[in-house]
């Protein structure tokens, strides 16, 4: 595995993190050494092994379809960067 600075910028784009050319350059070397470490698991034969997603075999619980939450929007929106009329403000998306 070997990342180019362009690869880094492409992944950063997927993750919505603005990345300059200089940052991509610096990150590239670090990601390459991390993926060299990760590559050591590629040689393991895992045919027939069931993937383990979780430590405990737990399933989503069902509950009665009743209201369990009360309205906290004033408290929650009090800490938002920009709010007006109980709406979160962001740059215009639709002209």
Partner 1 sequence: MSATSLSALAAQLAAGQVSSRELAQQYLDRIAALNPALNAFITVDAEKTLAEAAVADALRATGRAGPLTGVPIAHKDIFCTDGWLTTCGSKMLHNFVAPYDAHVIQQFKAAGMPSLGKTNMDEFAMGSSNETSYFGAVKNPWNPAYVPGGSSGGAAACVAARMAPAATGTDTGGSIRQPAALCGITGLKPTYGLVSRYGMIAFASSLDQAGPMAPSAEDCALLLNVMTGFDPRDSTSLEREKEDYTRDLNQPLAGLRVGLPKEFFAEGLNNEVAAAVDAAVAELKKLGATTVEISLANSKLAIPVYYVLAPAEASSNLSRFDGVRYGYRAPEYGNLDDMYCKTRAQGFGAEVKRRILIGAYVLSHGYYDAYYLQAQKIRRLIADDFNEAFKVCDVILGPTAPGTAFKLGEKSDDPVEMYLNDLYTIPANLAGLPGMSLPCGFDAKGLPIGLQLVGNYFSEAKMLNVAHQYQRATDWHSRQPEGLL
Q: Which residues bind partner 1 (CB under 8 A)?
A: 8, 11-12, 14-19, 27, 30-31, 33-42, 44, 46, 49-56, 58, 60-61, 63, 72, 75-76, 78-82, 88, 90-93
Give the largest Cα separation in the chain, rounded.
58
Which residues 6+ apart lie within 8 Å of 27 measured at CB?
Answer: 8, 12, 19
Report the nearest approach of partner 1 to the CB of residue 87 (Å): 11
Provide, rounded to whole angstroms, the least separation between the CB of residue 13 and partner 1.
8
Closest CA to 32 of 9, 70, 4, 10: 4
Gyration radius (Cα) of the chain, Å: 23
Nearest distance, CB of residue 67 and partner 1, angstroms:
15
Q: Which residues pair with 83 in a beta bridge?
A: 88
């Amino acid at each position: 595995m070997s990342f180019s600075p362009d690869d880094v910028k492409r992944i950063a784009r997927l993750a919505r993190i603005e990345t300059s050319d200089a940052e991509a350059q610096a990150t590239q070397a670090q990601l390459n050494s991390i993926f060299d470490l990760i590559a050591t698991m590629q040689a393991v034969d895992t045919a027939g092994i069931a993937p383990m997603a979780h430590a405990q075999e737990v399933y989503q619980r069902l509950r009665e379809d009743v209201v369990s939450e009360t309205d906290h929007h004033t408290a929650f929106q009090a800490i938002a960067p920009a709010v007006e009329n109980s709406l979160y403000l962001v740059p215009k998306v639709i002209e």
